[in-house]
Amino acid sequence: MTVTTTAVVAPADPIAADGRPVRYVEWGPVILGAFTAAAISIVLMTFGAALGLTVVSPQPYAGLSARAVAVLAGVYAALVHVAAFAAGGYLAGRARTPWMGEEAEQHFRDGSHGFAVWAVGVVAATAIAVGGGAAALGTAAKSTAAVAAAGAAGAAANPATADLASRISLTPTDIAVDRLLAPAGAPANDGRAAEGGAARRDDIAMPIARTLATNIRDRNDSVDARDRTYLAQLVTQQTGMPQAEAEKRIDETYTQLKAAEQKARDAADQARKAALIAAFLAAATLAIGAAAACAGAALGARHRDEHTLVTLFGSRRFW
């Protein structure tokens, strides 16, 4: 009985033309390409900032509008991102040792080095941005704490000022209460109570604020009839104006409060839409940057294999 054994020989690692083994991933060209992309981005963004300062003006009706500047800045930043990573990918692809295996595998590995350049650059930039933001947030928190401590010390030294500061409020509902309880014959925005009625005003301010807030929450076109009568009685007791005038003041104040509330909702919705569009555009720009890095690496590898000379303006040697 004869037993035949077959030896399985593992494929040898690809060898470069000069005899050196070829690595699957060469981190040297990848890091070089990432630093190249970062440096190009810094230079072009600095140049873009200088150009941006030439098209804006603090004078009214001069220079581009804020929306136009924002659009131009976004487009310019996207172009810089794509161009920088295309250049970084090209450098990484050209500096990489040629792969001596199959042609399809060679193209894939050349392109993957461009993708690695993009990945390293994006992760490094994100880490730097997050670290810088955290540091700025910590500094702002310390500054705020110091200011608050100084304010508390000043308030302790002057109780009258502290009491006044505690009464100040700029919410739309509180402003509406001030307008409702303004004395008869005084300007509508004068929040001073009638003489001797400060304590009474403090007692009825919160019920009025809650009533108005409830009607705003329920999206009522006008104040509920029962609430309107109740508020008119409180306003009449506080200001001494007739019931009819008190009801008219309530309607006007509620209309203004609804307009302020709707304006705030519109501003929040507009900010949400702007953030949504900006996020989608940022994601699309990052994806295009990845494709540009891969394409640049493939082009650099092809120029490496073809021994193409990089020239400036078609005649002078650039590299």
**Does residue 308 or residue 44 have the better pLDDT?**
44
Residue 305 maps to a domain = yes
Q: What residue numbers bound the domain in which 188 lies?
A: 169-263
Whether residues 139 and 284 fall in one domain: yes
Q: Is there a domain that residue 15 lies in? A: no
**175 and 83, same structural domain?**
no
Same-domain status, 124 and 215: no
Q: How many CB atoms lie within 10 A of CB 180?
A: 27
pLDDT at 37: 92
Quick: pLDDT tens for 10-64.
Answer: 444 555 555 555 667 788 889 999 999 999 999 998 888 888 777 777 777 667 7
Q: Are residues 258 and 288 in the same domain?
A: no
User: Is residue 4, in this structure, part of any structural domain at all?
Assistant: no
Residue 91 resides in a domain: yes
More confident site: 68 or 115: 115
Q: Which residues contact 175 (CB under 8 A, 6 or more apart)?
A: 189, 191
pLDDT digits (tens, 9 = 90+) for 155-170: 445 554 444 344 444 4
Residues 216 and 118 in one domain: no
Per-position DSSP letters for 76-104, written without gaps between them: HHHHHHHHHHHHHHHHHHHHSPPP-S-HH
Q: Is residue 68 part of a domain?
A: yes
Using the Cα atoms of residue 193, residue 196, residue 198 and residue 200 in order, give the sign of their dihedral: negative
Model's pTM, two decimal places? 0.64
**How many domains does the chain fold into?**
2
Residue 22 lies in a domain: no
- Give the residue carrying structure tokens 């500094």: 139
Pair 87, 128 in one domain: yes
Residues 222, 142: one domain? no
At 245-263, the pLDDT tens digits run 888 888 888 888 888 888 8
For 292, residues 6+ apart whose C-beta sits below 8 A from its C-beta are: 82, 83, 85, 86, 89
Residue 50 maps to a domain:
yes
pLDDT in tens, 134-154: 665 566 566 555 555 554 454
> Is residue 108 situated within a structural domain?
yes
Same domain, 147 and 32: yes
Q: Is the domain of 69 the same as that of 208? A: no
- pLDDT classification of 289: cutoffs 50, 70, 90: very high
The 3-state DSSP composition of the chain as helix, strand, coil percent (nearest 5) reads 70, 0, 25
The whole-number pLDDT of residue 308 equals 78
255 and 290 belong to one structural domain? no
